Amino acid sequence: MSAAASAAKRTIVPALNRMTVELTNGAVITLRTVSPRPYLKVTRDSYNNPLWSASGIDTVDDDSGRLARFNEKFGMASNDAWGAQEEGAGGFASLVADFGAPSGAAKKKSK
């Protein structure tokens, strides 16, 4: 192997540097990365991101985006018809009764 070929082969794998990352909850982790920065403090992670949040505290209200356009198009301004009603007092059973059985659902194809 020539000297030029061995030099090219060594540069394929980049040098890894240590980076200290501070999360929003105060946790500190150390990563090996190709970034030359030694320290990174994140402002948005899985602890405060509304998409990762299991509670409804940090939810995002989207009144002008894709969700609003979908709701306008299909007439679903809210999920009150499905989620807010209790069973027995006009809940799911009354919704099924209002819509009736789907046509052609009970027919089976014969061979």
- The dotted CATH code for 14-57 is 4.10.80
Q: What is the pLDDT of residues 48-105, one digit of tens each?
A: 877 776 665 545 555 667 777 887 888 755 555 554 444 445 556 666 666 665 565 5
The answer to whether 29 and 21 have CB atoms below 8 angstroms apart is yes
Every domain range in the chain assigned CATH 4.10.80? 14-57
**CA pair distance 37, 19, nearest whole angstrom:** 6
Any alpha helices (H) in 1-111, and if so which ranges? 3-10, 66-74, 92-99
According to DSSP, residue 56 is labeled S
Q: pTM value? A: 0.39
Give the contacts of 102 (CB within 8 A, at least 6 positions apart): none
